[in-house]
Amino acid sequence: MRDFLPADKARRERVLSVIRDTFRAHGFDEIETPVMEDSDRLHAGLGGDNEKLAFAVMKRGLTSDDLASSSEPLDLADLGLRFDLTVPLARFYASHRAELPAVFRAIQIAPVWRAERPQKGRYRQFVQCDIDIIGESGPIAEVELITATAATVAALGIGGASIRLNDRRLLTSALTLLGFPANVHDAVLITIDKLDKIGHDGVIAELRERAFPEEPVAALKAFFCRPATSHRLPFGEDAIRARLPEGVDAGAVTALAAIGLAVNEVAGDIVQYDPWLVRGMGYYTGAIFEVVHPDFGYSLGGGGRYDGMIGRFLGTDVPAAGFSLGFERIVDLAQLPDTSDADALALVHDADVPPARLAALQAEFIAQGRRVRLERKPRNIAPLLAQLAASGFAQFAYVGASSVASELEFRAIEA
């Protein structure tokens, strides 16, 4: 968990403003949910491995006997800090469905908490920027999510990014055709999810180390070596089938091709089909996607369709899909102009200027729509001006005991 100095905070807010405005321009509405959820909800099996990283909040009024007699730590908790924004959204929708449109497009931009082991790029408190569409079962939901995200990445000035696209149904269909029984699909996908890090040979070696049946492992190795899988192909049903074993889920192929073709027509070939993109969350039921950049070995965001989650809270299945940007990774890549506020003014005053005069001058300029800061004049003005420039102030004026607003001389602050 980190502190942010004024200049860092200002930059973060500029980036958040671009993200928020771009999402809103694509028809999404912002909501807010509490930072805590019921512990049972956070540990309902919807959050995958993230559930293990949830911060628990102990019940009030526990006694030493309660603490000593409990064999399961979660028995002592009734609340927890949210570890993502998807589980809270599912609970929110189940609670407010009658007040929401039939197809609900939500923005959530807020901090989440995970008990990560502190290291570079991993924080225990970080911001997620999510958009979700609930109530739309057709591929237009994925198209909207991906085009809004692509537009956001472009608005942030992040060049060279692309979006990898796949479908969990195609993954499981391919594994079945290669000979893996259904009861090991999830375990096999955990290893395949490491493909970018350990390569084809590493995946095959790990599958053998974990004692999966040799026949399907050998079939997967042979399939990895096919020339058709060694390069990316454009979208289209034939191109997708060429990357997969013969006989894969035809409906998933059609839906995925429709998504890819629609997005690339609008966003300029930003989407690439990746037949072995997995996304670790077990709640995905259809299309899955990730934002990637060639200069970084990690994704900048991701998401997919999760049609089964809302029903866990509502009792009725509702189609849903979402896309989340990892703000802490995005904020360092964003190429936004470092703009100072042209109307921001510092009044640098002598020590003997009466407080009433300073307050009156400040109020007069604020009434004109300016941002105004009072600063006592130091012996060396240079460090003060540098600090003001870092805080976005564009002008300053010296104020003496008898100064009036109309006679002040405004001077530019050089960044």
How far apart are the C-alpha atoms of 139 and 137, rounded to whole Å? Answer: 7
Number of neighbouring beta carbons within 10 Å of residue 285: 18
The residue from 274, 292, 310 where one domain ends is 292
Residues 122 and 142: beta-carbon distance below 8 Å? no
C-alpha separations of 227 from 185, 193, 300 in Å: 25, 21, 29
How many helices (H) and strands (E) in the chain?
A: 15, 15
One domain for residues 141 and 69: yes
Residues 307 and 320: beta-carbon distance below 8 Å? yes
Sign of CA dihedral 136, 140, 146, 148: negative
State pLDDT tens for residues 46-99.
666 677 788 888 878 777 776 667 767 777 778 888 988 988 998 899 899 999
Per-residue confidence in pLDDT tens, the chain, 415 aa: 889 988 889 889 999 999 999 999 999 999 999 999 887 877 776 666 677 788 888 878 777 776 667 767 777 778 888 988 988 998 899 899 999 999 999 999 999 999 888 776 678 899 999 999 999 999 999 999 999 999 999 999 998 889 999 999 999 999 999 999 888 888 888 888 888 788 888 989 989 989 888 988 898 888 887 755 434 556 788 888 888 888 889 999 999 999 999 998 888 888 888 888 888 766 788 999 999 988 877 789 999 999 988 888 788 889 999 999 989 889 888 888 766 677 899 999 999 999 999 999 999 999 999 999 999 999 999 999 998 988 888 899 999 988 888 889 999 988 6
How far apart are the C-alpha atoms of 134 and 364, rounded to whole Å? Answer: 49
Looking only at the bridges linking them, the beta strands covering 104-113 and 56-58 are unpaired
What is the token pair recorded at 269?
């070939």
Query: Can you list the alpha helix ranges (DSSP code H) found in 37-192?
Result: 39-42, 64-69, 86-96, 140-155, 168-178, 185-192
One domain for residues 233 and 301: no
Residues 156 and 333: beta-carbon distance below 8 Å? yes
One domain for residues 287 and 302: no
Residues 5 and 325: beta-carbon distance below 8 Å? no
How far apart are the C-alpha atoms of 226 and 229, rounded to whole Å? Answer: 6
What lies within 8 Å, CB to CB, of 58 at 6+ separation is: 76, 77
One domain for residues 152 and 5: yes
3 state SS of 137:
coil
Confidence at residue 327, expressed as pLDDT on a 0 to 100 scale? 93
Domain count, the chain: 3
Confidence at residue 42, expressed as pLDDT on a 0 to 100 scale? 78
Residues 102 and 117: beta-carbon distance below 8 Å? no
One domain for residues 188 and 324: no
Q: Give the CATH number of the domain where residue 69 resides.
A: 3.30.930.10
One domain for residues 29 and 91: yes
One domain for residues 320 and 345: no
State pLDDT tens for residues 133-179.
999 999 999 999 999 999 999 999 998 889 999 999 999 999 999 99
At residue 126's C-alpha, the angle toward residues 120 and 131, to 5°, is 125
Q: Give the CATH number of the domain where residue 375 resides.
A: 3.40.50.800
End-to-end CA distance of the chain: 30
One domain for residues 147 and 260: no
What is the token pair recorded at 132?
């979700």
One domain for residues 272 and 376: no
One domain for residues 87 and 145: yes
Which residue carries 């692509």 as its tokens?
150
Q: To the nearest 5 percent, what fractions of the chain are helix, strand and coil?
A: 45, 20, 35
Which residue carries 């958040």 as its tokens?
16
Classify burial at 355, counting beta carbons within 10 Å of its beta carbon; exposed 0-12, middle 13-18, buried 19 or more: exposed
What is the token pair recorded at 259?
């998504």
One domain for residues 373 and 260: no
The residue from 339, 372, 402 where one domain ends is 339
One domain for residues 149 and 1: yes
Rg (CA), the chain: 27
DSSP string, 269-320: S-EEE-TT---S-TT--SEEEEEE-TT-SS-SEEEEE-TTHHHHHHSS---E
The residue from 261, 292, 323 where one domain ends is 292
Kindly report the length of the chain: 415
Confidence at residue 229, expressed as pLDDT on a 0 to 100 scale? 44
Helix 168-178 / helix 214-224 crossing angle, nearest 10 deg: 120
Confidence at residue 231, expressed as pLDDT on a 0 to 100 scale? 44
Domain that holds residue 23: 1-156+297-339
Confidence at residue 339, expressed as pLDDT on a 0 to 100 scale? 62
Confidence at residue 313, expressed as pLDDT on a 0 to 100 scale? 78
